[in-house]
Structure 1
Amino acid sequence: MKAIDFFCGAGGLTHGLLNAGIEVVGGFDIDEECRETYEHNNAASFHSIDIRDVSLKELKSRSRLRKFDNVLFAGCAPCQPFSQQRKSETVHHSTTLLTAFGRLIEEALPRAVVIENVPGMARVKGFSTFRRFLHMLEKNGYGYVYDVLDAKKFGVPQNRRRLVLIAIRSKEVSIPINTHGRDLQPFRTVRDAISHFPEVAAGKTHPKVPNHSTANISEINLQRLQYTPLNGGDRRTWPKRLQLDCHKNGYEGHTDVYGRMFWDLPAPTLTARCYSISNGRYGHPEQDRAISLREAAALQSFPDNYQFFGSNTHIAQQIGNAVPVRFAAALGMHIKDLT
């Protein structure tokens, strides 16, 4: 089976599909800055183009495929319009990306389709973009199933709940079975993923480990980390002089912010700001810093030799927005078994 990875970013999904034995013929993404990372690590070409501008003719030309009857279309559109963190009621332009993806499916009629996105994608009220997408699949003879899966149940050392949709033409479909959890393999932990990396100070880059770079930290935030207990501690132990104004007067919410990860649990969900302690429980379990980019990549189950290119801010986005490699591989192997 061959595959085309739409919204490919840094290549987490592509790398997982390749590991599952699926030949990825190309990745499409509007972000040109992802090209070097994608092509350096994957045997596939990067195509910098907006999917809304891709015609069937151009898709055939770029993929060098004349037909798609044994091809998987993988589409993990940007999740911002469906995220719980999004407060605005304004229609986000990215919702049209799923519509554009659906148009290409309807024109090309690939053998299989897989989508990964935040659970909120299926909870939009009314006849949503997602519901219209499902109607398009039904109209074109696809059997489909979707459910919310947690990547930690497939060997990823991270709590990461995502909606997954799998569709195959003229066939009944199922969701992959968990491989990790109760009565299965144990969940992979932060310790499993990052304990082998050498120490590195805040604001520094290790000279021998690619992307083992950490964000600068202010003096007051350094003091806050020093007062945060190791292995899962949080801001509730800080002296009053170090408390943020928004956390004073007995406020108990959002204790993950500025917190340290637990060594022997899966990590919290990583975001595009996962190397900053002020954006979640992204503090190292022991060292006085946020996790490094290399450690974030490991928690997304990228192999240690997967090298990222660009500014640290953009690399954090590449990592945080990626489909975890192990999760992608599990989806790929399941789709191969179904087809």
Structure 2
Amino acid sequence: MVAVDLFCGAGGLTRGLLDAGIQVKKGYDIEERLKETYEKNNEGSEYHCTDIRKVSGNSLLQDIDLGNNYLLLAGCAPCQPFSSINKSTNDKDGRKILLLEFGRLIEEVRPDLIFVENVPGLKNGKGKYVLQQFEQILKNMGYHYIYETLNAKEFGVPQKRKRFILLASKHGNVDLPSPTHGPKSPGNRPYVTVRKAISKYPPVTAGGIYSKIPNHNAPNISEKNRMRLKQVTKDGGSRTDWSEDLELYCHKNHRGHTDVYGRMKWDDVAPTLTCKCTSISNGRFGHPTQTRAISVREAAAIQTFDDDYIFYGPMSVITKWVGNAVPVKFAKIFGSHFISHIGEIE
């Protein structure tokens, strides 16, 4: 089985598919800076920096041997237009049509298998109309498909991360993989916790770096935010622990959004990582005990990247890449599932 990864980002999906035993021939994305991170960490996978709207089926299929391989076309079109945290009502957001560009390539390439990942809002929110059009493409072409909202924590990822998942096949009915962790799993296997994911990393200060571990650096914070974080109870506290003199004006008489400036809990899964997951002012991204946000390396570990997966670029940029990635182990689950599906039909 070979694969092409559309909207590949820094390569979380590609790495997971490779780990499952699928040869990912190409990754496509629009940011030139991704090339070094993608190719150095995913040997044999070639990065193509291009607008997906300019990619033709013929160019995508170059150097792919369809005579001797099943082809998986996988991708995670930008999810921001469909996210619940995006309050924009702009129906003209050009990113919304990128899923339909994925559909166009399906029509041109006719892959054996299809994998789509996105936010739950694609199914029941802002993206519903786009999804209906995408489904019609699959129906017209005779694909068997299934989709559902799955939580990555049920598949060995130390993070609460709900995602829309669609699997499709030309070769018969396809189902979704069963949970490997939590109450729905065999033997009620416990979720992987923050402690298991990041407690191994040595301490680092806000604004500091631990040079022996790639990307183990945390952003600096102001003195006032340092004081605020010191008042947040270790192991799961929130901004409600602050003294009144440290409260932000926008939080006075407002008790919602308590994850902002909060700390993660050691023995629980992490919250959903975002493209600002090393910023304490953007979510519960404080380290459980240290006076800082989680480091880039810790964020990557929560996204189940191995420590030898190195990100190249400035911290603000690679934080975005890490937060937007498909968790590697989550991706591997689906790669293995596709391999089993093909094994059943053969």
Q: Distance in 2 between matches of 1:88 and 1:202?
A: 33
Question: SS of the counterpart of 2:78?
Answer: coil
Unaligned runs of 5+ in 2: none
Q: Distance in 1 between matches of 2:58 and 2:5?
A: 17
Letter in 1 for 2:335: G
What residue in structure 2 maps to residue 102 of structure 1? 103
Deviations 1:182-231 (A, max 9, x none): 23321000000000000000001112110001001000000001111100
Letter in 1 for 2:237: G
What residue in structure 1 maps to residue 259 of structure 2? 256
Q: Does the 8 A contact of 2:191 with 2:269 survive in 1?
A: yes
Instruction: Give the C-alpha shift of residue 60 in structure 1.
Output: 2.0
Letter in 2 for 1:164: I
Q: 1:274 aligns with which of 269, 274, 277?
A: 277
Instruction: Give the C-alpha shift of residue 67 in structure 1.
Output: 6.3
Q: Distance in 2 between matches of 1:93 and 1:27?
A: 21
Q: Which runs of 4+ in 1 moved over 6 A?
A: none
Corresponding pairs, count: 337
Q: TM-score, normalised by structure 1?
A: 0.97
Question: SS of the counterpart of 2:158?
Answer: coil
What residue in structure 2 maps to residue 241 of structure 1? 245
What residue in structure 1 maps to residue 216 of structure 2? 212
Instruction: Give the C-alpha shift of residue 338 in structure 1.
Output: 1.1
Q: TM-score, normalised by structure 2?
A: 0.95
Pair 1:13 & 2:16 matched = no
- 1:231/1:51 Cα in 2 relative to 1: closer, same or farther (>3 Å)? same
Q: Distance in 1 between matches of 2:126 and 2:280?
A: 34
What residue in structure 1 maps to residue 48 of structure 2? 47
Instruction: Give the C-alpha shift of residue 69 in structure 1.
Output: 6.7
What residue in structure 2 maps to residue 286 of structure 1? 289
What is the RMSD of the two structures over their aligned residues, measured on CA atoms? 1.4
Deviations 1:163-190 (A, max 9, x none): 0000001410101100000233210000
Letter in 1 for 2:60: L
Once the two structures are superposed, the pairs formed by residues 1-339 of structure 1 within 5 Å of their partners are 1-43=1-43, 44-61=45-62, 63-65=63-65, 70-91=70-91, 92-124=93-125, 128-182=129-183, 183-249=187-253, 251-339=254-342
Letter in 1 for 2:129: S
- The percentage of aligned residue pairs carrying the same residue is 51
Letter in 2 for 1:80: Q
